[in-house]
A and B are shown apart, each in its own frame.
Chain A
Amino acid sequence: MISKGKFGKYGGVFVPELLIPALEELETAYLKYKDDEKFNEELNYYLKEFAGRPTALYYAENLSEKLGCKIYLKREDMLHTGAHKINNTLGQGLLAKYMGKTRLIAETGAGQHGIATAVVGALLRIPTEVYMGSEDVERQKLNVFRMELSDGVVLPVESGSRTLKDAINEAMRDWITNLDTTYYLIGSTMGPHPYPTMVKYFQSIIGRETKKQIMEKEGRLPDTIMACVGGGSNSLGIFSEFIGDEEVELIGVEGGGDGIETPRTGATLTMGTEGVLHGSLSYVLQNDDGQINEAHSVSAGLDYPGVGPEHAYLKDRGRATYDAVTDKEALEGFKLLSETEGIIPALESAHAIAYAKKYAEKEDNKGKIIIVNLSGRGDKDMDLVAREMSVEI
């Protein structure tokens, strides 16, 4: 490898020997094309014309008034397919095309990354197969159908807990078996090097736009940026441009599930310990022996017992702080934004909204300029939220 892909002690390439040459090939291609004029021209074209960038930085006036802060929303929810995931799948999908790969595979939890991969597969005419835990297939039938409509093949995974982490295991096994033809399109800032670095790079467009937009609107940097953290790609995407601006507070909000003091939580950075999962050293939810626990969150996108290694590094060096909100609080955040602004957020993003409310309630934080990364929209969560609210639709 050209780089060891370390963030402090975190990150790395903890994979079977078979995969190392494939990661080397990927790293080389990534470094070559990320600065390639033609590649960038094509990527920027699709980001604009296909995905709908740039997204607005919307001043949420009603919410601001209610909470006593100036709250801006980065509207990644307005992108094609409904979430920030498309930024990364367009980047990596094009990379796969430039590398001459003829098959895309991906893992998905709720289905958002699976859909974003399937549509890029359709766009670039690369056959796409998506691994999804059978438990999630059952819970997210609508998204399975959406993937299939875009000509993606959904492969249900029956092993382990039959959720996201098992889908990742299965996608890695597929990749190990089909290295010549297949590109493994990882959906978050996790996995072995170069994925954490590369996915952040493709998502950093969120932060670049945000910085420009806030300077235009406010003439200064924000006080605080908040984003939800599952694997960590929307949060790193918006944080990346501000990491060097020490005066900007960066807060990652994890899925607390039933509560961080319970075993039913997805709060990896808040409650986890150092460990190696899916190719990198980071924080993980695990038992005393190092067996990985099952995570829990009402939002499938935050329901993962690992987290991207750069977040572990940002946490340890105190550059970003991480906290969790419970399922219940997230549902309140979901309703709050829907009612005050007429914007229905994804349950993942609703965690960041719920946290913004708690944050704004503190006297010290009154009047601050806060940016919340609204990573996705809530259409996908209608069934679940209706059930939680005991509403029949």
Chain B
Amino acid sequence: MSHIESYQEMFQRVKDKGEGAFIPFVVVGDPDFETGLEIVKTYVDNGADALELGFPFSDPIADGPTVQSADVRSLNVGMTTRRGFEFIKRIREFTDIPIGLLVYYNLIYKMGADEFYKAAKESGLNGILAADLPPEEAEVLLDTADKYGLDQIFMAAQTTSNERLKKITEMCGGFLYVVAVMGVTGARSELADTTVELVSRVRSHSDLPLAVGFGISRGEHVRNVLDAGSDGAIVASALLNIIEENLENKEVMLTKIGSFCRELKEATRK
């Protein structure tokens, strides 16, 4: 394995080119282990600057129906935490770009933070974000993340006060995940005005790289959040919808994902 690119290096790389970072998301092993890897390869070959991966969970309260369906598909083909890390190892055979993990805290708690983070590091991950672990509960993980050289990533939302933002920024490594909407994950046709305001507000309170996610479903959404001051855009449900709609025809699925990724990446270029 060659050098794994850090988030800092990646954001600098795209910035030097005058671009923003395009970060597609997928649930590991959706719709099955090998097809999931091909999907990730398609992301990488069509402009992904970093990857955001989700481990499936039985009760994903921060997610809408699209991600939950992906979780169910992945669990139904036997995905486990161990196999999830195997999946990431396999991704590392073909790319060095940063990989972040989005996970519900119970999976970490059950395995034990030390063992989970050790396995995460060995698999080649860069960072971990626990969707249901606010700063109030996260202190215990920060040392573990440090010990294994992983970035502990946090979310900032529209409801987050400036005071909290300061605290979150101090704890957060890698990049700050800005939650675009008041709500759960899911594709949306319009980008709310409040999203743009939120990005500007977070930008003025934090020097961390920002990546905006939740509801970013089109090239113009990507462009808008980058224009508002974000360094990257995370696209999840709009891509997962392509998977769901083309489960019967893998070739079509991968072709559509590839062209949609190119469109989204293109939007990060001015």
Contact = CB atoms under 8 A, between A and B. Distances in A.
Contacts of B57: 291
Contacts of A173: 61-62, 64, 183-184
Contacts, number: 115
Interface stretch (A70-78, A130-138, A276-284, A337-345): A276-284
A274 B168 CA distance: 27
Nearest to A4: B136
A290 interface: yes
Contact of B81 (A166, A178, A277, A290): A290
A363 B170 CA distance: 62
Given A21-B159, A21-B161, A278 B134 contact: no
Contact of B75 (A20, A275, A276, A291): A291
B59 A169 contact: yes
Contacts of A276: 104-106, 109, 132
B133 to A, nearest CB: 6
B187 to A, nearest CB: 15
Nearest to A161: B58
Interface centre among A12, A18, A21, A22, by most B CB within 10 Å?
A18
Interface in A1-50: 1, 4, 12-22
Interface string B92-136: 000000000000111101110000000000000000000111101
B156 to A, nearest CB: 7
A281 B109 contact: yes
A30 to B, nearest CB: 17
Nearest to B79: A289
Nearest to A158: B65
B68 A159 contact: yes
Interface residues of A, number: 39
B106 A277 contact: yes
Contacts of B154: 17
A173 B154 CA distance: 19
Given A1-B136, A277-B106, A20 B159 contact: yes
Interface in B45-82: 57-62, 64-65, 68, 72, 75, 80-81
Contacts of B137: 12-14
Contact of A21 (B104, B107, B160): B160
A172 interface: yes
Nearest to A22: B159
Contacts of A20: 134, 136, 159-160, 164
Interface string B155-176: 1111111001000100000000
A159 to B, nearest CB: 6
Contacts of A17: 134, 154-157, 159-160, 168, 179
Interface residues of B, number: 40
Given A169-B60, A286-B110, A289-B81, A177 B136 contact: no
Contacts of A172: 61
A216 interface: no
A111 to B, nearest CB: 21
Contact of A292 (B59, B62, B164): B59
B171 to A, nearest CB: 12
A300 to B, nearest CB: 18
A18 B57 CA distance: 19
Nearest to A288: B110
Contacts of A19: 159
A317 to B, nearest CB: 21
Contacts of B72: 160
A95 to B, nearest CB: 20
A166 B106 CA distance: 17
A73 B177 CA distance: 53
A98 to B, nearest CB: 21
Given A21-B160, A289-B110, A290-B109, A176 B62 contact: yes
A19 B182 CA distance: 10
A382 interface: no
Contacts of B133: 14
Interface centre among A12, A15, A160, A173, by most B CB within 10 Å?
A173
Contacts of A215: none
A16 B136 contact: no
Interface in A268-304: 273-279, 281, 284, 286, 288-292
Nearest to B132: A14
Interface centre among B64, B132, B160, B164, by most A CB within 10 Å?
B132
A311 interface: no
Contacts of A4: 136
A1 B179 CA distance: 21
Nearest to A166: B59
Interface centre among B59, B110, B156, by most A CB within 10 Å?
B59
Contacts of B104: 276
A351 interface: no
18 contacts: A13-B136, A13-B137, A16-B131, A16-B155, A17-B134, A17-B159, A18-B157, A20-B164, A21-B159, A21-B160, A166-B59, A169-B60, A176-B182, A177-B183, A289-B107, A290-B110, A291-B58, A292-B59
Interface of B: 57-62, 64-65, 68, 72, 75, 80-81, 104-107, 109-111, 131-134, 136-137, 154-161, 164, 168, 179, 182-184
| The 9 A-B residue pairs with the shortest CB-CB distance in the complex, in nearest-first order | A290-B110, A177-B183, A21-B159, A18-B157, A290-B106, A17-B155, A16-B62, A276-B106, A292-B58
Given A160-B68, A177-B183, 4 more contacts: A13-B136, A20-B160, A21-B159, A279-B132
